[in-house]
Chains A and B, each alone.
Chain A
Amino acid sequence: MAALVRGLRAGRVLRGLGSVQGIVSPQCRNVRRGFHRATLLRLADDSKSGTSVPPPSFHEVPTAGESSSSSEPLEDGQPNTSYQDQSGEHGEDYETEEQLQVRILTSALEFVPEHGWTVEAIAAGAETLGLSSASTGMFNNGAGDLVLHFVAQCNAQLAETLAEQHNLVQLGQAESKETAEFLRDAVEMRLRMLIPYIDTWPQAMSILLLPHNIPDSLKHLSTMVDDVWYYAGDRSTDMNWYTRRAALTGIFNTTELVMVQDSSPDFEETWDFLDNRIKDVVNMANTAKQVQATGEALVQGLMGAAITLKNLTGMNQRR
C-alpha cells in the first residue's frame, strides 16, 4: 500500500517534470544552472560533508527562488510553492527538478563501489529516496551525469576548503604557504576525495573522455585549476595566466593517472610522484627565468657594442 502511494507520488512528479521539459528556453536554462549550483552547494551542506555554504550562494538562492515561479508554471495540479522552500529536504512535491536530480545523484554515489558508475547505481540511489528506479529516465546522460555531479561536488568542496584557509590567512590566524607547497596540498586534497571510489575511477575517467562529456569535464577541470591558482595567490594578467594553469592541469592529470594504479599504503607513491612533478615545474620555471635574464643581458651587451662601434666610426655625432 505504501509502495503504491509512493509509486503514485513518483508518477505525479514525473508527469509534472515531463510537462516542464517542453518549455526549456535559454532563460530557463540559466535559471536551472543557477539552481543547480545553489542546490548543489546547499545539498553538500545538508549531506554528510558538513562544510559550510560559502557566501556567494546566499545571493543566488533568493534570485533563483524568485524566478522559479515564472519558469515552471505548468506543474500538474501541484501548488507552485517551490520558491518558498529552499532547504530541498522536504518531499519531492516541493522541490525543483534540479534539486531532485542532485539528491538522487548524491545518494547514488553510495552504490558506486557496488554497481560502478552506471545507471544501476543511479537507480539504486533513487530507490533509497523512495522513488521508482524508472526515475533514471530523468538523466539523459546516464552515468555521465553521475560522474559529472561527483566531479562538481568535489570541486565545490575543494573551493570551499581553500576559501576557508584563505580567510584564516587573511585574518592572520594561519601562516601563508609557499606556492609549491600550497599547490601540492591542494592537489593532494582534491585527489584524496577519489579514494573511496578509486577502484571504479578508471571507469569514471573513461566516461569523462566520451566526446559528449568532454566539454563539461574540461570546464570542471579548468574551473578547479583556476580556483587553486587564485587561492595560491596568482593575479597574473599575461601569458603566465595560461602557462601556470596548463602546468597545473598537467600535474593534476598525470598524478590522477598514477593514483589509479597505485597500490602502495595510503598512496605514498602517488604523493611522491606529485612532489617530483611540482619540483620539475619549479626547476623549469627557474631555468626559464635564468634564460630570460641571460638573454636580456646579452642583448644589452650587444647594444652596448653597437653603440661603441657607432661612436668609434663617428656615426653617432650630429653634424
Chain B
Amino acid sequence: MQRFVRPQLMLRGSQQTILPTAGQPCRNSISAVPCVRGRGYSVLPPTNDEEEKAMLHRMMRVDHAGEYGANRIYAGQMAVLGCTQTRPLIQEMWDQEKQHLSKFNEILGDNRIRPTLLLPLWNIAGFALGAGSALLGKEGAMACTVAVEESISEHYNSQIRTLMEKDPEKYTELLQMIKEFRDDEMEHHDTGLEHDAESVPGYQLMKAIIQAGCKAAIYVSQRV
C-alpha cells in the first residue's frame, strides 16, 4: 500500500491581507516600515533624473513580473508532478526562483516601484502553463523549463547590455544582481536539457509557442 500523499495546492502566493484588520498595530498586519538608515546599500542607484528613474522602475517591474510568473510555472509543475521522481528537481529550481522573487519584492518595496497590473493574469497563465506542460510528463515539464529559462536569460542579457551601454560603474550592484540571476536561469535551462527536455514530441513547436508567449508577456509588463 502506497504512502498516503496529499498534493499541496498553493492557491495564493501572497499571504498579505487586502487591508489591515482593526485593532492590530501597523507592524503586524503590513510589513514593517524598513529602517532605511539600517541598510548598507541599495541595488538601484539613487537618481533624480525622471527618465532614468522611469527606465529603472520599468526594468524592475518587468523583472518582478517575470520571476513571479516563473514562480507560478514551477508551482503548476509541482502540482502535477509533485508525487513523482522529478519532485526534488523541480523543488530545487522552484526554491531558487522564490529567492529571486523575494529579492525583487524587496527592491520594489524599497524603491516604491509599482508592480504590474497584470500580476493576476501571470498568476493564472503561469500556473496553467506549468501544469499543462507537466501533464505531458517529466519531459514536457523540462521542455517548458528550457523554453522559459531561455527567454528569461535573453531578457536579462538585453537588460545587462542596456545598463552596460549607459554607465557600467553607476549600475555595478544592479548589474551584479542581474548577472547572478541570469546565471541561475541558464543553470535551470541546462538542467532542463540534461533531463530529456528535447525528447518530448513537438519540442520545437512547444518551445516556439512558449517563447513567443514570454516575449509578449515581457513586452506588455513593461508598459502596463
Residues on A lying within 8 angstroms of B by beta carbon are 30, 33-34, 56, 59-60, 63, 166, 169-170, 176-180, 182, 226, 230-244, 247, 279, 281-282, 284-286, 288-289, 292, 295-296, 299-300, 303-304, 307, 311, 316-318
Q: Which of B21-29, B179-187, B199-207 contacts A (4 or more CB under 8 A)?
A: B21-29
Q: How large is the interface on B (under 10, 10 to 19, 20 to 34, 35 or more residues)?
A: 35 or more
Complex Cα distance A256/B29, Å?
A: 28
User: Is the beta-carbon distance between B21 and A235 smaller than 8 angstroms?
Assistant: no
- Residues from chain B with Cβ under 8 Å of A299 in the complex: 9, 11
> What is the chain B residue whose CB lies nearest that of A240?
B16
User: Is the beta-carbon distance between A237 and B105 smaller than 8 angstroms?
Assistant: yes
Complex Cα distance A289/B114, Å?
A: 23
Tell me the minimal C-beta distance from A214 to chain B in angstroms: 20
Given A176-B27, A230-B112, A289-B21, CB of A235 within 8 Å of CB of B13: no
User: Is the beta-carbon distance between A235 and B24 smaller than 8 angstroms?
Assistant: no
27 CB contacts below 8 A, A to B, read A30-B49, A30-B51, A34-B48, A63-B48, A170-B35, A170-B37, A176-B26, A178-B25, A178-B26, A182-B26, A232-B26, A233-B32, A235-B30, A236-B16, A236-B31, A237-B105, A237-B108, A237-B109, A239-B120, A244-B18, A247-B19, A284-B18, A284-B19, A285-B17, A285-B20, A289-B18, A316-B4
9 A-B pairs with the lowest CB-CB distances in the bound complex, closest first: A285-B19, A235-B109, A179-B20, A237-B108, A233-B33, A238-B14, A285-B18, A235-B31, A237-B105
Given A237-B105, A239-B120, A240-B14, CB of A303 within 8 Å of CB of B19: no
Residues on B lying within 8 angstroms of A by beta carbon are 1-2, 4, 6-7, 9, 11-14, 16-27, 29-37, 46, 48-51, 64, 104-105, 108-110, 112, 114-115, 117, 119-120
